[in-house]
Amino acid sequence: QVQLVESGGGLVQAGGSLRLSCAASGRVWNIYTLCWFRQAPGKEREFVASITRRGGSTYYADSVKGRFTISRDNAKNTVYLQMISLKPEDTAVYYCLAKGTPIAVWDIWGQGTQVTVSS
């Protein structure tokens, strides 16, 4: 089906920036939406941002709106999450999610990449 590999995480100071990448392989033409989620220790996994593969329509959680930008390069089968003005509360494992269409519902997750923001 689809495989996802995240990269780009690391340790940054508050106010810094990171760009995460999610490289997709396999049957990428079956992907309807690509999303970023994050999960901090002891907390539920939460939605961060999404983008549709074909149209590029984006949607953001209120907590990251204005600071994070999701984008895609379909020629490279890659989705990005540009993060600026990072805060300690952004610390989490960030996961990429590929979602199927409304008539063929499925989810495939990447392995995650750690983002740590120090104060």
pLDDT per residue over 75-118, tens digit each? 999 999 999 999 999 999 999 999 998 888 999 999 999 999 99
Determine what percent of the chain falls in helix, strand and coil, rounding each to the nearest 5.
5, 55, 40
Q: What is the mean pLDDT of residues 47-64?
A: 97
**Encoded amino acid at 38, one letter:** R
Q: What is the mean pLDDT of residues 57-67?
A: 97
Extract the tokens encoding 24.
């997709």
Compute the distance between CA of residue 42 and CA of residue 39 in angstroms, rounded to an integer. Answer: 8
Report angle CA 100, 43, 102 to the nearest 5 degrees: 15
| CA gyration radius, the chain | 14
pLDDT per residue over 19-36, tens digit each? 999 999 999 999 999 999
pLDDT for residue 47 is more than 90: yes
